[in-house]
Structure 1
């Protein structure tokens, strides 16, 4: 995807960072300008946090905000984080910026909504937060105010976030694990902090808080499909579970995050922004450190119920007609036509949402498109009925040892 970011989830992934509001009160003057090295460091960290994807629309100025986030609690809009003194954060002090990142509190004392993932950013070190502050003070000022949030009562009452924080928010910087290597700790720091992978890849409770006991085992969020409409998407299980990244090596994951492709998959859909705007621009060492940490995650399995033999037989027939020539009858794929489906984390995700989006609407590729050997997949939404897509998806999620579980026609209808 480009830096233009359509409506997203609560909060997005791979999306989604620095959702800060400038506030309406008069702020203290910003601190003195930082050194060039601090600014460059901050720019790199802003890329690691993928700030542009959540704060730059296709029509707006860089970091001027206005990207909308569709959440179960209403629609929020990212704010202007340029150096404009009134419309942006140009008048914020370094300490005020630290408080927003570390505690999720605006300079006027109001709580920030966790669509700005301060729940992850609280783990970022003071030095890195200060470098980010230095960089944002150099972002050209944009004289523009994004739309107001559209949230019904009581979710529009920011004071309630105090109770939410008491229940679900643990403030504090990342603490290295002395039993692990420096590389592992660097990866954990990035994944759990600035990269905020859990924002999309961890399931949430009814109040929008991440379920720590199921961290990085797959989440559900809302994002756009190729025609711009909004649909649920399922973030894959990043743990070493059979339904997750068990088959991937550290090299596989490093290649995917750095280049957008490996022997299992090429980026499409919401991950385009994460890779094209963020991880591919990071150093090889940092991307590999993230991969080392992710590959160390213990398995958390999600197994769904199996479809009936009749449905699976129908799905196998549809697979033979529509998919087998590219992905082979074995599901192992072909280097020149289609990626493997055996053990696919997308296919086996806890929710079939991403698989259904792919089958029905086709994969949205990055712009400019990556060079891959595989053929571009067509959309089948207009060619198949809800029952047929459900049967095909159910077959894919249970064939060749996959453990994703059954998909119903009602699930497909919800994607119409």
Structure 2
């Protein structure tokens, strides 16, 4: 993180040298981008309170990274706090608590936030991995929303987006996109596939990987990530593929739950292993089968 801040400050210094007007424009542009309205049609999502729906919602909430930013109790959580740079980010309380904006969410509001990175009022969410959820089925969107409606109400914090000037400038210049800018909003919802250790189910589960590894899963620099983050691994069978390390689904499953390769070496902590460790055997094995089937691509081609 510290190296990222040094790099962004260096970039800002270069911009200042080129002219304060550029920085001023970029800062103003960042405010305009955050205030824009993203035109996404509203889609009704029916919520439910049966045990199967709530269990599915809890599983997705814990295994797809939601708790990383919003906390295990959905009461909100600070997930970036760098005092040296002034960068601080916190996910808001999304329990039914009185201070939670999500307490008033309808099904369509959850759909827009999860699949489109858009707030109920149409403005974009800045830090939300909606590109990973954009192709979720209606049933899975409903399951997560229904689960969050059912959890105990807790007091929690509001969303916090404390961005230092270098980050705002890079956002204004389009270097760091917000959640809504990463998604093709024209795509229809995914259709359900049978759960099992199959390529089709693995493809559905692996949507959670595209935010870092790219739509083609060949890795490379992570869009919007700090420059000091390591490049995402190539998950295709192509040149330089990380998947060559895993001869079996068992090895792949062990890595996803431990954060370590078969040789015992640790993988970058950028990977959300706290969430990945919650994934079921079926989901992990299906992901392995799918990744072994995708077209080979050279590393870094996204």
TM norm. shorter chain > 0.5: yes
| Higher relative contact order (CA closer than 8 Å, sequence separation 6+) | 2
In structure 2, the residue corresponding to 1:171 is in which secondary structure?
Answer: coil
CA change 1:222–1:106 in 2 (3 A) is: closer
- Per-residue CA deviation, residues 168-190 of structure 1 (Å, 9 max, x unaligned), is 55533235799xx9711111101
- Structure 2 unaligned segments of length 5 or more: list them: 5-45
- Per-residue CA deviation, residues 235-261 of structure 1 (Å, 9 max, x unaligned), is 211111231123422423233224444
1:297 to 286, 291, 294: 294
Q: Provide the C-alpha distance between the structure 1 equivalents of 2:47 and 2:296, rounded to a whole number of angstroms.
A: 47
2:133 to 121, 126, 133: 121
Q: Contact conserved, 2:74 with 2:93, CA < 8 A, in 1?
A: no
Q: Provide the C-alpha distance between the structure 1 equivalents of 2:278 and 2:180, rounded to a whole number of angstroms.
A: 38
Q: Provide the C-alpha distance between the structure 1 equivalents of 2:202 and 2:218, rounded to a whole number of angstroms.
A: 14
Alignment pair present for 1:201 and 2:199: no
Greater helix share, 1 or 2?
Answer: 2
Q: Contact conserved, 1:85 with 1:91, CA < 8 A, in 2?
A: no
Q: Contact conserved, 2:116 with 2:134, CA < 8 A, in 1?
A: yes
CA change 1:161–1:48 in 2 (3 A) is: closer
Alignment pair present for 1:236 and 2:233: yes
TM-score, length-scaled by structure 2: 0.66
2:247 to 242, 246, 249: 249
- Structure 1 unaligned segments of length 5 or more: list them: 1-5, 10-30, 203-211, 224-229, 303-348, 351-416
Give the 5 Å matches for 1:160-179.
Answer: 164=181, 169-175=185-191
CA change 1:171–1:84 in 2 (3 A) is: farther
CA change 1:163–1:121 in 2 (3 A) is: closer
Q: Contact conserved, 1:184 with 1:293, CA < 8 A, in 2?
A: yes
Give the 5 Å matches for 1:13-412.
Answer: 34-56=49-71, 62-68=74-80, 76-113=89-126, 115-140=127-152, 141-150=154-163, 152=168, 155=171, 164=181, 169-175=185-191, 183-192=198-207, 196-202=208-214, 212=215, 214-220=216-222, 222=225, 231-244=228-241, 245-251=243-249, 252-270=251-269, 274-275=272-273, 277-302=274-299
- Per-residue CA deviation, residues 336-387 of structure 1 (Å, 9 max, x unaligned), is xxxxxxxxxxxxx89xxxxxxxxxxxxxxxxxxxxxxxxxxxxxxxxxxxxx
In structure 1, the residue corresponding to 2:150 is in which secondary structure?
Answer: coil
Aligned residues: 245
1:21 aligns with none
**Shift of residue 154, structure 1, vs aligned partner:** 8.9
Q: Contact conserved, 2:91 with 2:158, CA < 8 A, in 1?
A: no
**Shift of residue 68, structure 1, vs aligned partner:** 3.0
Q: Provide the C-alpha distance between the structure 1 equivalents of 2:234 and 2:74, rounded to a whole number of angstroms.
A: 32
Q: Contact conserved, 1:218 with 1:238, CA < 8 A, in 2?
A: no
Return the index of the structure with the highest Cα Rg. 1
**Shift of residue 88, structure 1, vs aligned partner:** 4.0
Q: Contact conserved, 2:125 with 2:179, CA < 8 A, in 1?
A: no
CA change 1:295–1:46 in 2 (3 A) is: same
Range 86-95 or range 143-152, more displaced = 143-152
TM-score, length-scaled by structure 1: 0.50
CA change 1:143–1:117 in 2 (3 A) is: closer
Q: Provide the C-alpha distance between the structure 2 equivalents of 1:260 and 1:163, rounded to a whole number of angstroms.
A: 30
Q: Provide the C-alpha distance between the structure 2 equivalents of 1:69 and 1:239, rounded to a whole number of angstroms.
A: 34
In structure 1, the residue corresponding to 2:272 is in which secondary structure?
Answer: helix
Give RMSD over aligned pairs: 3.9
